[in-house]
Amino acid sequence: MSRPDLLLAFDDEARPAGALAAQLGVPWALVQRHRFPDGELRLRLPPQLPPRIVILRGLHQPNEKLVELLIAAPAARELGAREITLVCPYLAYMRQDIAFHPGEAVSQRHVAGLIARSVDALVTVDPHLHRIASLDEVMPGCRACALSASTALGDWVARHVDRPLLLGPDEESAQWVSEAAREHRLDHAVCHKQRLGDHEVQVSLPEVNLRGRAVVLIDDVASTGRTLVEACQACLASGAASVDVAVTHALFVGTALEALHAAGARQVWSTDSVPHVTNAVPLASLLALAVRDL
């Protein structure tokens, strides 16, 4: 996108919106939200919008925010926007990328399709792409740019942990772990995970000597935190000297973060793709570069 004219954001993302607008060198404005007693939403946008806008909307608490986005984007067009780039640091519904059981909706395809019909371009970070190679496969007609925070996380870890061993909790995390390890040539490996239910996973460690090592668990998403809890406990039981955690998307539902510390995790770091107390690695400059390059 040539330089956008305006960034639109929502009040719960005012801090990252300010940071992104500063990086882009554009003004920003808030979409005002009113929630009616029955739960319906009324959105109010600036009444006249310039032609090229960026909408910042992360999709943690996905159902509510998807509806906001699906109302805000067409409303923005009615108010003058001709080209809309969505910056969605956390793109929800990406994990259901296959019908695991007969009849299951492949949410990834349908949610991505809805978004593709609403905006012209998308910038996101570490979408959970496991069985598809690129977002283009599920977002026809929308220019999609999937960034990775792995290098930034690896850089953060290298500056804060002496001779770390990066460990992914499952095979899917190999893509993020190897990327995080690359620049500083950090030791790395991945575990094997079996998910038995929403809150139940089993993690088996790779054949790597963890005794005395400073392990850093790297993953894209922490949701219930069970994956990280299991991996953390297994590492400590195998003699790891310490276990820290670095994730891109800090969903950490309920008491997940407390459980992770109770399991023995020392430091827990995340990017600011999802506003959370563990945020340590800001993404604004990466996102702004991608918006300009689209």
Mind telling me the catalytic residues?
Answer: 193
CA-to-CA separations, 289 to 57, 155, 233, 246, 266, in angstroms, rounded:
17, 18, 38, 23, 33
Cβ 82 to ligand R5P shortest distance, Å: 37
Question: Does 58 participate in binding ligand R5P (rule CB under 6 A)?
Answer: no
Cβ 257 to ligand R5P shortest distance, Å: 11
In this structure, which amino acid lies at residue 229? V
What distance in Å separates the CA atoms of residue 218 and residue 170, rounded to the nearest whole number? 10
In this chain, which of 13, 220, 244, 272 binds ligand R5P, going by CB under 6 A?
220
Question: Does 225 participate in binding ligand R5P (rule CB under 6 A)?
Answer: yes
Number of Cβ within 10 Å of residue 294's Cβ equals: 17
Burial grade of 9 (CB within 10 A; 0-12, 13-18, 19 or more)? buried
Question: Per-residue string for binding with ligand R5P, 159-178, x by CB under 6 A?
Answer: ----------xx-xx-----
Which residue, chain included where needed, has tokens 């008491």?
255
Question: Does 248 participate in binding ligand R5P (rule CB under 6 A)?
Answer: no
In this chain, which of 222, 240, 246, 250 binds ligand R5P, going by CB under 6 A?
222
Whether 249 contacts 257, CB under 8 Å: no
Residues of this chain, 254-293, that bind ligand R5P according to CB under 6 A: none
Tokens (6 digits) for 10? 């929502």
Among the candidate windows 6-14, 96-104, 180-188, 221-229, which touches ligand R5P by CB under 6 A? 221-229
Whether 150 contacts 218, CB under 8 Å: yes
In this chain, which of 68, 126, 219, 272 binds ligand R5P, going by CB under 6 A?
219
The pair phi, psi for residue 265, each rounded to 5°, is -65, 135
What distance in Å separates the CA atoms of residue 1 and residue 265, rounded to the nearest whole number? 42
Complex with ligand R5P: residue 173 or 278, whichever CB lies closer: 173
Cβ 142 to ligand R5P shortest distance, Å: 24
Task: Kindly list the residues in this chain that would bind ligand R5P in the complex (CB under 6 A).
Answer: 169-170, 172-173, 201, 219-227
